[in-house]
């Protein structure tokens, strides 16, 4: 898939012994069957790759080359339009954009071309991939100017949540100032504005992930609720005693616990695809697990704990060959690379808005139309009914059938603005830039004495999980916070995969397109100082 990182052309670190995994009972009464673990894997070599983005010399973290320039705002110095040639991409001049006033804003766009008014569509085509300038991008994110403990904030906790561009913040404010109303239920002007904004966001999501129809997009609170919806609706209707559900050892708790609960309720069997020493799932063992009793395969596309990119197309194809449906957890993949559900042939895909530079409390369940239409509602109430009598109810077609009550309207609109923002940059551009950052960070971390990277699969997204000799992960996280560096320390809601390596926690640095090499260098220097002080 487009996101990923072939491993760095560096000698592997000296081997260290790993503590054995603790013996723990299964957390559910449902049967759990693990495949065999492949052995004999050698840590990969990461080949040298050319720098993909020849950026101007970078100022220090939290500073900017030109404090007056923004990525998508006009009235500022114009950005250069020429960029180095990158195979597969064409870059053209970028029309200047100006902030929209309330009088100009028609509820469909946030930024307009200069001179554009309400309901006017400019004749000039917008370049979907303007010249990438990380420092201009950073100025679109106001929180990146914050200081922590007197130092510039370095945000390496993107796997937990991403920061928000000004366009998203302003879009939320505009909604509450000019459009706020409940949707679908009134003839007045604000209801029409609110409904249009909400359904426009649904259209944006459908385009963003390559869905065949907006009716295949269900708004939920996040990936966790989306998976629970599938388990409680599709799962309860289709899983019976003796049926099997397959997950992988890499999964986030949100893609484990709902299936454990369903398996226990239905007397079904939960099977687990093993991973090798590098953190990649073992397809040959997966092939042995799927059979005519398999009803669903639910696998992450990118591991939140290790950064592993799974061979998700093969996973889906093998599920379908066995007659099973396939659910893809895209929480960590959708923010970092192009994802096309039609190309993947996924039956379900889930992702969270707050991990793709949108608001918290909003997420997406994609489901094939035929599958969604076969599913019963999982919650009852207003907005999802066609007719109600005291004797019974008829329900609306998807997606409304699954959106009972007043939804998170404003944040759905904010998610649409976030997707518009990243699409202007271009998901392939984001993937390439983050790939370059990941290689730079991998090389840097390997120079730190006593540091071991956990998860060395040949294909990785922008996540680096590690442990440092002489320190517990939380001690490293606390020390880095003193330097203004935000990382995640703990089990990352993925305890089974960390215990696969005999660990209860790691330090996780997760990158995004607004991070810089200079920030990575600050992290490496801080970790080196910690390593030198270990045991003192």
Q: Which tokens sit at 418?
A: 């976030």
Angle at 19 between CA 15 and CA 22, to 5 degrees: 150
Residue in the structure block whose two tokens are 């042939």: 345
Structure token pair of residue 375: 């599913």
What residues contact residue 463 under an 8 Å CB cut-off, 6+ apart?
159, 302, 303, 304, 305, 306, 307, 332, 455, 508, 509, 510, 511
Phi-psi region of 455 (alpha: psi -120 to 50; beta: other; left: phi over 0): left
Distance of CA 8 to the CA centre of its chain: 24
Interatomic CA distance for residues 536 and 209, integer angstroms: 51
Cis, bond preceding 291 (omega within 30 deg of 0): no
The active-site residue, picked from 287, 493, 499, 528, is: 493
Mark whether 493 is an active-site residue.
yes
DSSP 177-243: HHT---SSS--SHHHHHHHHHHHHHHHHHHHHHT-S-GGGEEEESSHHHHHHHHIIIIIHHH--TT-
118's tokens: 């309400």
Q: At what angle do helices 409-425 and 427-445 cross, to 10 degrees?
A: 80
Q: In whole angstroms, what is the distance from residue 26 CA to residue 49 CA?
A: 43
Residue for token digits 């303007």? 130
Task: Please state the φ and ψ torsions of residue 11, each to the nearest 5 degrees.
Answer: -65, 140
Active site residues: 493
């Amino acid at each position: 898939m487009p996101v990923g990182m072939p491993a760095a052309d560096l000698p592997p670190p000296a081997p260290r012994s790993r503590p054995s995994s603790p013996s723990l009972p299964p957390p559910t009464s449902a049967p759990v069957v693990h495949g065999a673990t492949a052995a004999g894997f050698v840590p990969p070599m990461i080949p040298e790759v050319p720098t993909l983005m020849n950026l101007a010399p970078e100022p220090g973290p939290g500073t900017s080359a030109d404090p007056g320039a923004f990525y998508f705002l006009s009235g500022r110095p114009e950005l250069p339009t020429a960029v180095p040639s990158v195979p597969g991409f064409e870059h053209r001049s970028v029309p200047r954009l100006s902030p929209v006033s309330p009088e100009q804003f028609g509820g469909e766009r946030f930024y307009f071309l200069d001179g554009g008014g309400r309901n006017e569509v400019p004749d000039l085509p917008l370049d979907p991939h303007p010249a990438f300038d990380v420092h201009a991008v950073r100025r679109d994110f106001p929180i990146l100017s914050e200081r922590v403990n007197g130092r510039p904030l370095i945000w390496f906790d993107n796997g937990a949540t991403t920061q928000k561009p000004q366009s998203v913040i302003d879009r939320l404010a505009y909604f509450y100032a000019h459009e706020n109303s409940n949707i679908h239920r009134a003839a007045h002007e604000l209801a029409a504005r609110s409904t249009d904004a909400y359904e426009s966001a649904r259209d944006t999501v459908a385009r963003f992930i390559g869905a065949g129809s907006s009716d295949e997009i269900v708004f939920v609170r996040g990936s966790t609720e989306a998976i629970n919806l599938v388990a409680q609706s599709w799962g309860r209707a289709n899983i019976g005693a003796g049926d099997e559900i397959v997950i992988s050892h890499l999964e986030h708790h949100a893609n484990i616990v709902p299936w454990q609960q369903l398996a226990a309720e239905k007397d079904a069997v939960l099977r687990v695809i093993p991973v090798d020493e590098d953190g990649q799932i073992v397809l040959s063992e997966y092939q042995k697990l799927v059979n005519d009793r398999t009803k669903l395969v639910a696998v992450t596309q990118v591991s939140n704990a290790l950064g592993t990119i799974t061979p998700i197309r093969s996973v889906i194809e093998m599920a379908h060959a066995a007659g099973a449906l396939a659910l893809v957890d895209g929480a960590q993949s959708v923010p970092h690379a192009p994802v096309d559900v039609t190309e993947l042939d996924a039956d379900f895909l889930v992702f969270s808005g707050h991990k793709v530079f949108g608001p918290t409390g909003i997420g997406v369940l994609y489901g094939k139309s035929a599958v969604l239409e076969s599913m019963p509602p999982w919650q009852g109430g207003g907005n999802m009914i066609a007719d109600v009598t005291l004797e019974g109810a008829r329900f609306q077609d998807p997606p409304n059938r699954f959106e009972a009550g007043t939804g998170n309207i404003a944040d759905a609109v904010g998610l649409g603005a976030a997707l518009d923002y990243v699409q202007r940059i271009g998901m392939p551009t984001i993937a390439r830039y983050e790939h370059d950052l990941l290689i730079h960070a991998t090389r840097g971390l390997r120079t730190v004495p006593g540091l071991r990277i956990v998860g060395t699969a040949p294909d990785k997204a922008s996540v680096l999980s590690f442990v440092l000799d002489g320190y517990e992960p939380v001690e490293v996280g606390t020390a880095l916070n003193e330097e203004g560096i935000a990382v995640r320390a703990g089990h990352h809601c993925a305890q089974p995969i960390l215990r696969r390596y005999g660990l209860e926690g790691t330090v996780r640095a997760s990158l995004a397109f607004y991070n810089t090499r200079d920030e990575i260098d600050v992290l490496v220097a801080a970790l080196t100082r910690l390593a030198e002080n270990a045991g003192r």
